[in-house]
Amino acid sequence: MTTLTNVTLDLFLFDIREGLGQSKAEITENREQFKQKLPNINSAKFDQIDDQYVEPEYQELLAGRTIDFEFGTSQGYYYPVRLNDIYGLLIECELLQEQSIDHVMWIENLQKIILSKLNKQTSTMGETWLLSAQMNELSERYCLEIAQSCCTILINNNQIKWSPFLDGYLFECWIENQHVIIIFYQHEKNEKRIADLYPYFMRLLAYHHKIMWAYRQGKNLKQLLKNKAIETEKYRTELNSYMEQRFNTNKFQQTLQGTWKILSKYDILLNNLSYQIRTIDTNHRNYDKRLATIEAEFGQKITCLSNFSDKTKNKYLFQVQTDYTNLSPELASLEHMINYIRASVAIEEEKRERSFQNTIATWGIGLAAGAIVASISGLFPDDITGWFLYEFFEPKWWKAMTAIEISCISAIGAGLITKLVMVVKTKFG
C-alpha cells in the first residue's frame, strides 16, 4: 500500500509593511496588524529589530528565530521575517504519523490547524501553501491524483503544472493571490534538502506575490481611471453647450474647477499605475534570479516554476503596460481642455476689461469736453442768451441753465464721437 510519511504543510504568508505614499502612522498600523498573527511575542523587541535596518533584503524578526507549538499528533512553528518593504511569515505544521493516500482528509485537518494559529488574520498580499511528503511507492499517476485532490482542498483549484524534482515531482497551482506548491520525494535524505529550501522559497514567493499584488492593483487603478474619464465627458458636454450660448464666465469657471479636480486625481492614479509597472518588472527580474539560484543549488531545472515567469512577462506586465499606454492620452486631453477653458475665460475677461476702459475713456473725454464748454459759457455775450429769455427771468439764472445744457450736449457729443473713433480703429486697425 502506498503511504506518505514526513507529511509537512507550510503556509508562506506576506503582508505589506510600507505601501506607496503611506505615512509613519500607517506603517506602524501595518506592523501592529502583522504582529497580531504571532502569539506571545515581546512587542518592543520585535519593533526594535524591525526598525534596526532600512529595507533589509532578509531579516529574521524574532530573537529566538521561531515560536514552536504542538497540536495533538502534529507539531509546528512560526517564523516571521522582513523582506525590504514587506513582511513574510512561515507557519509550519508536521504530522507525526504515517498517512494513507486512499483519502486526503489529513490535508484539510492540517490546513485548519494552521489557520487556527492566525487569530483570524488574513494576508494583505498573498499566501502560498507548500506541502511536502515522502512517498514509499513513487509514481506519476499517484502523485498527480494526490496533488490535484490537495489543491482542490487548499484553494479550490486543480489546474496543475509539474516538473521532476529531486527524486520525485514538484507541482504548482495558483489563482490570484492563492498559490500551492507540492513536493513528493522518495528518499528520506531529501527531507533535509527541502527544509533547506525554505529561505530560498521565502524570497521567491515574496516576488511571486508582489507581482500578483501589483497586477491586481493595476486592474483596480484601470477601473478608477476609466471612471474618471467618464466624469470628464460630462464636463465636455457642458463646455460644448456653453459654447453654443452667450459666454458665461461663471459657468466656464465651474467647469474649469471640476475638470481641474479630475485632472489632479487622474494624474495621481496614472502615476500609481506606472508604479505598478515598475513593481512587476523589478520583481519579475528578481524572481528569475532567485529561481536560477535555486536551480543551480539543486542542479536541475524547475520548468513549472518558470511558467509563472513567462506568464508575468506575457500577461501581467504586458497588460498593465498596455493599460497605461491606452489611458495616458486622457491626461493630455484633460490638460488641453483646461488650457482651452483658461484661455477662453482670459480672452473674455480681457474683452470686458477693454470695454470697460473704453467706456471710461469715452465718457471721460465727453465729460472733459463738457467741462470745458461749461467753463467758457460764462464768457458768452448777454444778448446771445437774452434772445431766449422772457422778461420775468433773471438773465444770470438763465445763463447758468444754458451752461449746463451746453455742457451736457457737448459731453454726449464728444463721447459719441470718441466711441465711433474707437470702433473704427478696432475694426480697421
Answer yes or no: do 388 and 330 share one domain: no
Answer yes or no: do 261 and 275 share one domain: yes
For residue 388, the model assigns a pLDDT of 47
For residue 85, the model assigns a pLDDT of 94
Q: Which of 196, 219, 248 is the last residue of a domain?
A: 196
Q: Is residue 206 part of a domain?
A: no
Q: Which of 311, 330, 348 is the last residue of a domain?
A: 348
Distances, alpha carbon 127 to alpha carbons 133, 179, 207, in Å:
20, 6, 12
pTM of the predicted model as reported, rounded to 2 decimal places: 0.79
Answer yes or no: do 110 and 221 share one domain: no
Q: Is residue 118 part of a domain?
A: yes
Answer yes or no: do 313 and 392 share one domain: no
Total domains present in the chain: 3
pLDDT digits (tens, 9 = 90+) for 295-324: 999 899 999 999 999 999 999 999 999 999
Answer yes or no: do 242 and 383 share one domain: no
pLDDT digits (tens, 9 = 90+) for 23-68: 999 999 999 999 999 998 999 999 999 999 888 999 999 999 999 9
Q: Is residue 201 part of a domain?
A: no
Residue type, position 102, single letter:
D
Contact present, 151 and 158 (Cβ < 8 Å): yes
Answer yes or no: do 148 and 223 share one domain: no
Answer yes or no: do 14 and 146 share one domain: yes
Host domain of residue 20: 3-196
Q: Which three cell numbers stand for residue 98?
A: 504515517
Q: Is residue 33 part of a domain?
A: yes
Per-position b or e across 185-218, b if 16+ CB within 10 A of its CB = beeeebbeebeebeeebbbbbbbbbbbbbbbbbb
Q: Is residue 378 part of a domain?
A: yes
**What residues contact 313, with CB distance under 8 A and at least 6 apart?**
284
Answer yes or no: do 59 and 140 share one domain: yes
| Cα–Cα dist 67/288, whole Å | 31
Q: Is residue 205 part of a domain?
A: no
Answer yes or no: do 354 and 342 share one domain: no
Per DSSP bridges, beta strands 126-135 and 178-185 are: parallel
Answer yes or no: do 161 and 247 share one domain: no
Q: Is residue 52 part of a domain?
A: yes
For residue 387, the model assigns a pLDDT of 45
* Regions in the chain scoring below 70 on pLDDT: 1, 239-249, 251-252, 337-338, 340-429
Q: Is residue 412 part of a domain?
A: yes
Contact present, 129 and 180 (Cβ < 8 Å): yes
Answer yes or no: do 385 and 334 share one domain: no
Q: Which of 134, 161, 196 is the last residue of a domain?
A: 196
| Cα–Cα dist 324/320, whole Å | 6
Answer yes or no: do 322 and 361 share one domain: no
